[in-house]
Amino acid sequence: MFRSIRWRIAVPYILLILLAMAGLAIYLSNLVRDAYLSDLEAQLTAEARLLADALATSAPAEPLDAFAQRYARLLNARVTLIAPDGTVLGESHEDRTRMDNHLYRPEVQQALSEGKGRSIRFSRTMGYEMMYVAVPVKAENCSVGFVRVALPLDQVQRNIARLRNAIVLIALAAAGGAALLAVGIAGRTVHPIRRLTAAVRRMTAGDLGTRLLPSTRDEVGTLTQAFNQMAERLQQTLATLRQEQARLQAVLENMADGVIITDSEGRVQLINPAAARLLGSEGRGRSFIEVARDHRLAALWQRCREERREQTELLDMEPQGRSLQAIVTPLQGAGAEACLVILQDLTDIRRLETMRKDFVSNVSHELRTPLASVKALVDTLRDGALSDPPAAQRFLDHIEKEVDALGQLVEELLELSRIESGKVPFRLEPVPLDEAVLPAVERLRPQAERAGLRLECHLAAGMVWADRERIQQVVTNLVHNAIKFTPPGGQVMVSAVRQGDEAVISVADTGVGISPEDLPRIFERFYKADRARRGGGTGLGLAIAKHIVQGHGGRIWAESREGAGSTFFFTLPLAPGSPSNPDVG
């Protein structure tokens, strides 16, 4: 109960009021008692003086006891007459003979020295508290005794007690009223604080939209306003933070580089999808060493933790065949030994680099062979073959063939590079299928016949989006290969069908076929399957065909059975104007 501000305010007030009321009651009752007593004293003194005067003026005719009793009745008080030596000479209420010497009673002693004496004490003779007042009786300036008048104080005390009770009652009532008031005021003061507390609780539970109407204009009202402002700011800040976080999250999730953050205990605090993919392991909360699964990466990270310096290393991850550039940086402000690990996948860049190197070496190789044979032929001519004209003619024919081959290689290289770099844009237009395919086939018919082959052509009607020249180049390359790799007596079949929204053009032969190992690689530049059988090609024809078909938005692929023949397919998008029924043949 005393934990609440309401009671902490109210209780001290109640105690203070009670204390003040008690003090007031005591003070008032004392004041009233003193006033009563001094009144009584004045009354008793006057009566004693009256008696003393009566005694001094004329000696009473009756015995002194009777005198005392008469006056006692008149004054309604106890009257005692005392001789100067203290002997009691007359007494109104007691048996005088049993009373001891009264000379040393305080009131008598005081009357002796001061001319008037007063004392309040418990009378053993009467059995209650009394006020005694004594005055000397003087005859011709000589003390002949003392008159003492006394009254019991029980009446006075009853009066005082009644008064005190009344004061206590009033004090209690006032204290009760004040307490109620204090509790009420404290309650009213605390009520807005309670509302604020409830609002803060709601905010803590996540309801950030909580606002309060200031109910007072005092400090609590100001506090409520400050609370509202704080809630507003908090809401804004949180919204901004959430937005930032969402942005960061999106960046982290979609970036190609892997990002890992480890805490000071070496546990993974954050890992983005790219990092999980590159390392082939998930693992928030697991240790980095477990997640890295590579001792070189773990060592690099450990070194960064120890030296607090950036560490970089290129790692070839064996099982996945990836090249990873790992950069480990100490993370500032995230606790000692916290690190940021960035993994960059350089596999493609390295593959391109390798391809470039391979390309240069392939080109050099392809150039070297004909150049070496030209050089050898020239040397032979110089060494005397010139004097043998028929042989010289043969050598010259040979040289011409090699130079032609070189020229073709250079031509195809240039063509490939032009297509790859996109410098010669394709002029796509709707072209009837037969116009795109037939001229190339017809151009090669004499060559096929020379090679003892049957060349057939089945083309569906239809229009395709194509650059006429380029597509003829593709068909030429494919049919040329088919003729080249098919032994005499075989057949080459060119066909085109419509499938869905594209045309599929195929060139099938009954030739030597392609081994399953070579099949996936024949579209690479300079790739030649089974070099022993090659008929002097450059290995660039299919690479050029692939680029042209892809430039048309089509696909190219090959199917083959070694020894039984090969079929090359490519697709082209159909243009408007094609008959809508699928045509399979």
Cα–Cα nearest to 79, from 44, 118, 27: 44
Could you give the count of Cα atoms lying within 13 Å of 151 in the half-sphere of its Cβ?
A: 21
The Cα 477–Cα 470 span in angstroms is: 11
Selected binder of ligand ADP within 542, 549, 556, 574 (CB under 6 A) = 542
**Of 90 and 513, which CB lies nearer to ligand ADP in the complex structure?**
513
Cβ pair 310, 303 in contact under 8 A: no
The Cα 139–Cα 158 span in angstroms is: 40
CB of 553 to ligand ADP, least distance (A): 22
DSSP H or E stretch at residue 129: strand 128-139
CB of 393 to ligand ADP, least distance (A): 28
x/- letters, 21..40, toward ligand ADP (CB under 6 A): --------------------
**Of 546 and 552, which CB lies nearer to ligand ADP in the complex structure?**
546
Q: Using the rule CB under 6 A, is 541 a contact of ligand ADP?
A: yes
CB of 307 to ligand ADP, least distance (A): 53
Q: Using the rule CB under 6 A, is 539 a contact of ligand ADP?
A: yes
Q: Using the rule CB under 6 A, is 258 a contact of ligand ADP?
A: no
**Of 258 and 539, which CB lies nearer to ligand ADP in the complex structure?**
539
CB of 308 to ligand ADP, least distance (A): 55
Q: Using the rule CB under 6 A, is 362 a contact of ligand ADP?
A: no
**Of 178 and 545, which CB lies nearer to ligand ADP in the complex structure?**
545
CB of 563 to ligand ADP, least distance (A): 10
CA dihedral 52, 57, 59, 63 (to 10 degrees): -40
DSSP labels, 174-221: HHHHHHHHHHHHHHHHHHHHHHHHHHHHHHHTT-TT-------SSHHH
Q: Using DSSP, state whether 500 is helix, strand or coil.
A: coil
* Among the residue ranges 51-59, 353-361, 376-384, 504-512, the one whose residues contact ligand ADP (CB under 6 A): 504-512
* Amino acid (one-letter) located at 452: G
CB of 392 to ligand ADP, least distance (A): 30
CB of 502 to ligand ADP, least distance (A): 22
Q: Using the rule CB under 6 A, is 528 a contact of ligand ADP?
A: yes
* Among the residue ranges 106-114, 167-175, 393-401, 535-543, the one whose residues contact ligand ADP (CB under 6 A): 535-543
Selected binder of ligand ADP within 7, 13, 426, 527 (CB under 6 A) = 527
Selected binder of ligand ADP within 506, 538, 571, 578 (CB under 6 A) = 538
DSSP H or E stretch at residue 464: strand 463-466
**Of 78 and 484, which CB lies nearer to ligand ADP in the complex structure?**
484
**Of 160 and 522, which CB lies nearer to ligand ADP in the complex structure?**
522
Task: Measure the CA angle with vertex 403, ends 400 and 406; round to 5°.
Answer: 155
Q: Using DSSP, state whether 87 is helix, strand or coil.
A: coil
**Of 21 and 540, which CB lies nearer to ligand ADP in the complex structure?**
540
Selected binder of ligand ADP within 182, 399, 444, 529 (CB under 6 A) = 529
DSSP labels, 543-580: HHHHHHHHHTT--EEEEEETTTEEEEEEEEEBPTTS-S
Interface positions, 125-154, toward ligand ADP (CB under 6 A): none
Cα–Cα nearest to 94, from 106, 85, 82, 108: 82
Nearest-CB residue for ligand ADP: 537
**Of 220 and 540, which CB lies nearer to ligand ADP in the complex structure?**
540
What are φ and ψ of residue 545, in 5° steps?
-60, -45
Cβ pair 541, 481 in contact under 8 A: yes
* Among the residue ranges 103-111, 148-156, 428-436, 531-539, the one whose residues contact ligand ADP (CB under 6 A): 531-539
The Cα 536–Cα 514 span in angstroms is: 17
x/- letters, 218..257, toward ligand ADP (CB under 6 A): ----------------------------------------
The Cα 278–Cα 78 span in angstroms is: 122
Q: For ligand ADP, how many residues bind (rule: CB under 6 A)?
A: 23
Q: Using the rule CB under 6 A, is 547 a contact of ligand ADP?
A: no
Could you give the count of Cα atoms lying within 13 Å of 254 in the half-sphere of its Cβ?
A: 6
CB of 287 to ligand ADP, least distance (A): 51
**Of 25 and 529, which CB lies nearer to ligand ADP in the complex structure?**
529
b or e along 353-373 (b: 16 or more beta carbons within 10 Å of the residue's beta carbon)? eeeeeeeeebbeebeeebeee
**Of 279 and 514, which CB lies nearer to ligand ADP in the complex structure?**
514
Q: Using the rule CB under 6 A, is 171 a contact of ligand ADP?
A: no
x/- letters, 505..524, toward ligand ADP (CB under 6 A): ----x-xxxx-------x--
b or e along 162-201 (b: 16 or more beta carbons within 10 Å of the residue's beta carbon)? ebbeebbeebeeebeebbeebbeebbebbebeebeeebee
Token couple for 389 = 């004209």
**Of 432 and 539, which CB lies nearer to ligand ADP in the complex structure?**
539
For residue 457, how many other CB atoms are within 10 A of its CB? Answer: 17
CB of 536 to ligand ADP, least distance (A): 8
x/- letters, 261..280, toward ligand ADP (CB under 6 A): --------------------
Token couple for 577 = 């104007």
CB of 267 to ligand ADP, least distance (A): 53
Cα–Cα nearest to 543, from 368, 354, 428, 417: 417
253 torsion bin: left (phi>0), alpha (psi -120 to 50), beta (else): alpha
Selected binder of ligand ADP within 566, 569, 571, 575 (CB under 6 A) = 566
x/- letters, 457..496, toward ligand ADP (CB under 6 A): --------------------x---xx--x-----------
Residues near ligand ADP (CB under 6 A): 477, 481-482, 485, 509, 511-514, 522, 527-530, 534, 537-543, 566
